[in-house]
Amino acid sequence: MPIRMWTDPSTVEGGAMQQLRNVATLPWIKGLAVMPDVHYGKGATVGSVIAMKDAVCPAAVGVDIGCGMSAVKTSLTANDLPADLSRLRSKIEQVIPVGRGMHREEVEPKRLYQFPTAGWDDFWSRFDGVADAVKFRRDRATLQMGTLGGGNHFVEVCVDTTGAVWLMLHSGSRNIGKELAEHHIGVAQKLPHNQGLVDRDLAVFVAQTPQMAAYRHDLFWAQEYAKYNRAIMMALFQEVVRGEFRKAKVTFEPVISCHHNYVAEERYDGMDLLVTRKGAIRAGSGEFGIIPGSMGTGSYIVKGLGNAASFNSASHGAGRKMSRTAAKKRFSTRDLEEQTKGVECRKDSGVVDEIPGAYKPIEKVIEQQTDLVEVVAKLKQVVCVKG
């Protein structure tokens, strides 16, 4: 299957290029689009869009099922922000647990300001149908609802080029999504039709099988968990901002939200396909999306152009240009302080692997996909809470 790339192939590292070639050989594949933030991942690269007929590859979704972004424009302006933003950062960290942290009690949606609760009970009732390997961990999944997680997840206060203040966050389905993904990848790898694959991590489920049905159930549930998780965090985030800027009587525009590790049922060239976006967002015509950079460079709010050649997709961010291990070896906390100057954030050794220098330049990534999205707003973070 031809590989459609929105980047210079010579800039893609060898391991990632081999992964793309491996995916292109799968007998179920009907298309492969590669985003400008492409880099090596487990089985399939991060930054790839894979369309299959009657099949889906769990590793092509990613282990953080439903990981994505949310952003909202506020009525605040840069002039409303205090010179010292450490208090605001501290308040955010008090309300939204990070890393492996979780809430002491379940966050009750009904107590959150203007939070839509429709479907909440139905969502949790479907938890009993997920894989036996993880379904008895509901207590933890409940307490982790509305938490950030670790790695490259973040909560940010940003200012756009007009001076408007935005709230933004990046997170996924927490540990429950990861466990479901790993469970189903293990199931797929044992199926007979996957034994001759060039890479066992590319094992697939095929239509009309109980394994596919079980995966689809758990997959869509985890994607919904991730969406609710971001919604809860955004509501908590808004409460903090409303409280800290009480005199300003802050209002918020509609929240923009998008997955970038997920599966969608879509139709192309007269075929119903299962489209997996691993490190990619949907960019249908007129659809809003979020493409973040690293913790010191800024992010973009975009609107999709509906390019069918990319399966209506665009990049999910800047994309790493070096591994976390390599970043820790190359950069110091002094480098981190220099590269995050002007941002109220952690500047310790625990987040050196997230230093801007470990990522591709976000401006170049945006330039490489002008036929996929148009820029609506450019944001620069002033507060960044890392996982």
Q: Kindly list the catalytic residues.
A: 316
Closest CA to 261 of 222, 210, 305, 310: 222
Residues 96, 147: contact at Cβ < 8 Å? yes
Rounded CA-CA distance 368/310 in Å is 13
Structure-token pair, residue 65: 């099922």
Nearest Cα neighbor of 7 from 326, 309, 369, 383 is 369
Total count of residues recorded for the chain: 387
Residue 313 CB partners (closer than 8 Å, separation 6+):
33, 35, 49, 277, 280, 281, 282, 283, 307, 372
Instruction: Confirm if 107 and 137 have CB atoms less than 8 A apart.
Output: no
Tokens of 75: 């009525």
The four Cα atoms 103, 109, 111, 113 give a dihedral, to 10 degrees, of 110
Q: Which two tokens stand for residue 130?
A: 């997920």
Q: How many helices (H) and strands (E) does the chain have?
A: 9, 17
Q: What is the rounded distance in angstroms from the CA atom of residue 41 to the CA atom of residue 189?
A: 17
Give the pair of three-digit tokens for residue 195.
Answer: 């034994």
**CA–CA distance, 136 with 122 (Å, rounded to integer):** 18
Contacts 24+ apart (CB under 8 A), 213-216: 214/131, 214/184, 214/187, 215/56, 215/58, 215/184, 215/187, 215/188, 216/56
From CA 284, how far away is CA 309, in angstroms rounded?
Answer: 11
Pick from 287, 354, 309, 384: nearest CA to 35? 309
